[in-house]
Amino acid sequence: MSENSNTVIQLQDVVKTYQTGEIPFTALDHVNLDIRKGEFLGITGKSGAGKTTFLNMISGVSEVTSGSVRFYDTAIETLDEDRLARWRGENLGIIYQSFELMPTLDLAENVMLPPDFLGAYQPRVSKEHALELLELVDIAEHAYKIPAHISGGQKQRVAIARALVNDPQLIIADEPTGNLDSVTAETIFQIFEKLVEQGKTVVMVTHDESFAPRFTRRFHITDGVISASSVTSETSVTSDAPILLSESKKCNNERVSEKPAIILRDVDKVYENAAGKFVALKSVDLQLDYGQFISIVGKSGCGKSTLLNMITGIDHPTDGEVLIGGEDIYKMSESERSLWRGKNLGVVFQFFQLLPTLTLLENTILPMDYCNLYAFNERPQRAMELLKMVGLEEEADKLPTAVSSGQQQSAAIARALATDPSIILADEPTGNLDSKSADNILNLFEDLAKQGKTILIVTHDPSITQRTDQTIILSDGEIIDQAVARALPFLSHGQMLETTKEAERRRIAPGATILKEGEKVDNFFMITAGEVDIIATNRAGKETQLAQLGCGQFFGEVELTQGGDTIAQVRGASAGAELAVLPRKFFFDLVDGSTLTRRAIEETASARLSENRRRKTDR
């Protein structure tokens, strides 16, 4: 590459292998990729997929096992430590999820640290430049505060300002919005977009798939491999961005059981500390039924773990009711609730939590001992049956360290099933597994749901939501209406939550007219339950049913986006319907803020308008 090349960083057949024992672990497997000048490159993938290793390669933090990483004409792996440190300080700006600010320095002094470390410290000029950068990220008014006196989002802005202090060509951001609420995360993302407009190159690792359509390019790492099919342009509509729910799934407000597994009624959880009150859950209403496989998604800090803590009885709600299997678990004493939890819930953790000094068989027996279930001499046989079910009967007498990560997670599931609980809760259970092991775990969960157990899985992986019966999306401690998420999947979680709150709810009786053909349309309609019939009248005056729309589908978009009056009549179907209705102005403000949403709705409108015209000409 020459200095005039459009490629800033080039990875050529890069392999990174770690020696963790007798068998080496390949974190990156023959990666070839160009990072172009002035692009906003997104990197997604589950924990352990190789994202951080990739960043370490392009920043020179870790050496390649084989291959080459080039910055223009310079092969980074050929630089010694001193030259590499200076190259990094002059050309890269690095932003971490945890901010990494010096607690005893004010914000301006924190921004001034990089030139100080480079031996280029100039008190007056450096401070002026620091204040300019703080102004750029809109936090200059707090320049002389220490980090403890500002919010997490403000700290991240300072970290961005600090990363820009040497005017680097390449900015690397490792989960920079992971610890922020949705509004603050959006602000940070917009700062990155502004920097790209100014000609900077930004590489961002994120778990948040709602950002995916906004990157210039995006690729997904799986087991150290970058799939060419996952590279997308900013204008493409991909099946996994951000969360697409299959049409066969029930909406979150459709009830299918008279005796639900889990009910939360108007649950709030507020934490108080020296900094004030923090609302972790707000007015959560939820019903989950037996025999369902349910995913819980949302960015870090949205309330997922708090929701699990409410269901498991680990933490008390500030207000509201939690009923599990019809029992109000917070009317129990702590000891009663602990024993109830052991008998009725199975919990699977991301990091397995197996006792290292016990064999897999002994780990599986442990819950039976604690709850005093089954005869003492029957417990080993039952534990062996569970290990056989998860394919570990030959590993039963081994310690956890003697088996693979996937096998440890399978053992953790066997242990969770030891007391035959009706509800299984799994917190990122596939986050540290390779794709084959993760698929085996998901297959097992699907089988358990078919047997009548309720499976709740917290995940950052959008592909998992395609396999679950229901998806609960949390944003800032509130649940997004699943019908909204289905109808408008390319909105950010913050936009989905705003839409959930704004929508007016309407019940439609069977056969009731919602829209008459030829009248003005002032609303956008989303179906949250039931079905509606779309009826057109042809030139001969004969009615024809164009379609029957169900939960998560929408109507009214043709008239709003194409102009004109209603092209068809809309009625409640035989069982009636429930609708979430958005006024015209809010609808247009929403699609104006999401290019992909506007495009998807306009494409649907054009297709429906063409079909309507064709049907009306039929005789």
User: Within 301-404, where are the H helices?
Assistant: 304-312, 334-344, 360-371, 379-389
Per the CB < 8 A criterion, the answer to whether 325 and 261 are in contact is: yes
Share of the chain above pLDDT 70, in %: 86
User: Within 137-226, where are the H helices?
Assistant: 152-163, 182-197
Mean pLDDT of 102-123: 69
Residue 494 confidence (pLDDT) above 90: no
Instruction: Considering only CA atoms, give the Rg of the chain.
Output: 27
Mean pLDDT of 402-417: 84
Q: Where residue 275 falls among pLDDT bands split at 50, 70, 90?
A: low
Mean pLDDT of 399-405: 83
According to DSSP, the β-strands at 470-475 and 293-297 are parallel
Joined together, the tokens standing for residue 163 give: 């990363």
Residue 209 gets the label, from left (phi > 0), alpha (psi -120 to 50) or beta, of: alpha
pLDDT in tens, 427-483: 888 776 667 777 888 888 898 899 888 999 988 776 788 788 888 888 888 999 888
Residue 484 confidence (pLDDT) above 70: yes
User: Residues 223, 225, 228, 231: is their CA dihedral positive or negative?
Assistant: positive
Q: Where residue 49 falls among pLDDT bands split at 50, 70, 90?
A: confident
End-to-end CA distance of the chain: 65
Q: Is 148 helix (H, G, I), strand (E, B) or coil?
A: helix
CA–CA separation, 166 vs 189, rounded Å?
A: 21
Joined together, the tokens standing for residue 68 give: 């080459």
Give residue 526's pLDDT: 92
Give residue 237's pLDDT: 33
Give residue 73's pLDDT: 84
CA–CA separation, 394 vs 389, rounded Å?
A: 12
Give residue 246's pLDDT: 41
Domains in the chain with CATH codes: 7-233 (3.40.50.300), 262-480 (3.40.50.300), 491-617 (2.60.120.10)
CA–CA separation, 497 vs 113, rounded Å?
A: 39
Mean pLDDT of 535-561: 82
pLDDT in tens, 177-220: 776 666 667 778 888 888 888 889 999 988 766 677 788 888 88
Which one, of 168, 173, 164, lies nearest residue 42 by Cα?
173
Joined together, the tokens standing for residue 27 give: 């974190």
- Report field, pTM of the whole predicted structure over 0.75: no
Burial class from Cβ neighbours inside 10 Å (0-12, 13-18, 19+) for residue 389 reads middle
Using alpha carbons only, what angle is made at residue 139 by residues 135 and 143, rounded to the nearest 5 degrees? 90
Cα atoms found within 13 Å of the Cα of residue 395, Cβ hemisphere only? 24
Residue 313 confidence (pLDDT) above 90: no
Per the CB < 8 A criterion, the answer to whether 530 and 576 are in contact is: yes
Residue 152 identity (one-letter amino acid): G
Per the CB < 8 A criterion, the answer to whether 266 and 319 are in contact is: yes
**Which phi and psi (to 5°) does residue 586 adopt?**
-65, -40
Q: Which of 265-279, 559-573, 574-588, 599-613 has the highest mean pLDDT?
A: 574-588
